[in-house]
Amino acid sequence: MSLKEIALTLLALFGLVAVGNALRCNCTNCEKTSYECETDGACMASTYFNQGKEQHVRICIDRDNLVPPGQPFYCLSAEGLLNTHCCYVDYCNSIEVPVPTKEGDWSGSASSWGPVELVAVIAGPVFLLCVLLMVGVFLFQYHQRAYSHRQRLEVEDPSCDHLYLAKDKTLQDLIYDMSTSGSGSGLPLFVQRTVARTIVLQEIIGKGRFGEVWRGKWRGGDVAVKIFSSREERSWFREAEIYQTIMLRHENILGFIAADNKDNGTWTQLWLVSDYHEHGSLFDYLNRYSVTIEGMIKLALSAASGLAHLHMEILGTQGKPGIAHRDLKSKNILVKKNGMCAIADLGLAVRHESITDTIDIAPNQRVGTKRYMAPEVLDETINMKHFDSFKCADIYALGLVYWEIARRCNAGGIHEEYQLPYYDLVPSDPAIEEMRKVVCDQKLRPNVPNWWQSYESLRVMGKIMRECWYANGAARLTALRIKKTLSQLSVEEDVKM
């Protein structure tokens, strides 16, 4: 037996003796239990900024909340906002997690190696390797055993969570606190969870392929709760991930509040909590009401502003990646009280990673709603390696949404009934093949009536639509261009935004 083997055996034995009961962690807000808590899951330590002050939090995370496996939601850090560390050994979260640094600071650290460090690295590689190996093997075995021995379910310790949820704070206050002090990607995850768990569901307001949408109450205010069925865990995770992209918050993008996965023993409930807008979707709104010229410009301009913000890549520490929606339609846009749009349903969106010029997930060919698919998506000629292709496909769909809005515009006493795009050319729930024949082969587009020419606003809207519908994606307008044109129109027509 070599020395190393003896050491390993001893370490393994030690591991066996030390486990078998619950994991104990430091807990910043557990006065009653002398700042400790017990769990069957993990210890978590987290550091972030709140109102300019550094906040250190240490809590227990129950095993049931360690999902998805391998990359638990509660253990993720948010770049520049929140640094989180999960570990599985008693009191291992006693450490000081470093303050979140902004993106970019990382790149500097590699090149700042001085000669001393270099010498140290060259002089001691063997020693370092041995130590790392020993520690690694020790931790691995300890963790494995600790994990498999823990079966006991713990009653959640509620005292740990209420740290940042002073009784008098409203949701707006909370989000405001976070977005002014952090980088605007939202609430810390454990606050999200506490918010989600104190919502009282009121009534169901919609159903979709992923699950249901409910109206809920939190501290007297309305919130919307999208409940995913448990087999839609991936969609839930993806949508939460996209909404928490740094600097995504914008008045014309649905305001995200919280994501939560609640295990009630038999199944997991996956919640996505967002702002509630009583008008519902643009589709419902246009079915119910016609709009004035001013109303039309407001809807169109705000939708373009939201899409322009989504598409735009902002560089720098307070930046955001470019995002393409991929399922833009009137049912996925909400109408706010002030008559402006908020783009929602980001579950199919893709992000552009500009450093590597790649897309953050492997995009499958044809997702989204067939009726709104751009010609290049229908005939599969879209260049999926190129992020801009997805933006161009969004613009085509935006053009169709504009057509739906403009038809409902009441100018000189005339307006048309609500219809979906291509209502006269394809059946309801059309097949891809049926759409492809109409849009690609026959090159048909929704009808732009001649009488729109007699009203400046409708004329401009008609022109924008045509320039959104070109068969060649690259020839279409950009969201920013549309936003500028409509801003100009809103000034000419004296629309108050």
Ligand X SMILES: *[C@@H]1O[C@H](CO)[C@@H](O)[C@H](O)[C@H]1NC(C)=O
In whole angstroms, the minimum distance from the beta carbon of 91 to ligand X comes to 5
In whole angstroms, the minimum distance from the beta carbon of 38 to ligand X comes to 12
Strand partners, 212: 207, 227
CA distance 443 to 382: 17
Query: Cβ-count burial of 36 within 10 angstroms (0-12 exposed, 13-18 middle, 19+ buried)?
Result: middle
Query: Cβ-count burial of 206 within 10 angstroms (0-12 exposed, 13-18 middle, 19+ buried)?
Result: middle
Binding map of ligand X across residues 29-48, x = CB under 6 A, - = no contact: -------x------------
Binding map of ligand X across residues 137-176, x = CB under 6 A, - = no contact: ----------------------------------------
Please give the C-alpha separations between residue 401 and each of 132, 158, 168, 283, 336, in angstroms, as whole numbers: 58, 46, 41, 9, 16
262 in a known ligand binding site = no
327 is catalytic: yes
CA distance 190 to 418: 44
Among residues 33, 71, 94, 381, the one that binds ligand X under rule CB under 6 A:
94
Q: State whether residue 131 is helix, strand or coil.
A: helix
Query: What number of residues does the chain have?
Result: 497
**Cβ closer to ligand X: 91 or 289?**
91
Contacting residues for 95 by C-beta, under 8 A, at least 6 apart: 45, 85
In whole angstroms, the minimum distance from the beta carbon of 45 to ligand X comes to 9
Residue carrying the six token digits 């969004």: 394
What is the maximum alpha-carbon separation in the chain? 95
In whole angstroms, the minimum distance from the beta carbon of 160 to ligand X comes to 14
Q: State whether residue 9 is helix, strand or coil.
A: helix
**Cβ closer to ligand X: 34 or 428?**
34
* Site residues (CB under 6 A) for ligand X, limited to 73-92: 91
**Cβ closer to ligand X: 26 or 65?**
26
Please tell me what DSSP assigns to residue 186.
-
Q: Kindly provide the residue ranges of all beta strands, DSSP E only, lying in 40-122, ordered along the sequence.
A: 42-50, 53-61, 82-87
**How many residues in the shown chain lie near ligand X by CB under 6 A?**
4
Give the full edge-to-edge strand order of the sheet including 358-359.
Answer: 323-324, 350-353, 358-359
> Which secondary structure element, helix H or strand E, spans residue 36, and what is its range?
strand 36-39
**Cβ closer to ligand X: 83 or 287?**
83
In whole angstroms, the minimum distance from the beta carbon of 25 to ligand X comes to 8
Q: Which of 11, 143, 21 is nearest to 88 (CA)?
A: 143
Among residues 19, 22, 26, 82, the one that binds ligand X under rule CB under 6 A:
26
In whole angstroms, the minimum distance from the beta carbon of 80 to ligand X comes to 24
**Cβ closer to ligand X: 31 or 494?**
31
Please give the C-alpha separations between residue 157 and each of 27, 37, 55, 61, 416, in angstroms, as whole numbers: 10, 8, 20, 10, 58
**Cβ closer to ligand X: 58 or 250?**
58
Q: Both tokens of residue 385? A: 């390696």
**Cβ closer to ligand X: 30 or 349?**
30
Q: State whether residue 371 is helix, strand or coil.
A: helix
Q: Given the residues 90, 260, 275, 327, select the one marked as catalytic.
A: 327
* Site residues (CB under 6 A) for ligand X, limited to 322-351: none
In whole angstroms, the minimum distance from the beta carbon of 99 to ligand X comes to 16
CA distance 76 to 86: 9
Cite the active site residues: 327
**Annotated binding-site members:** 226
**Annotated binding-site members for ATP:** 226
- Residues in contact with ligand X by CB under 6 A are 26, 36, 91, 94
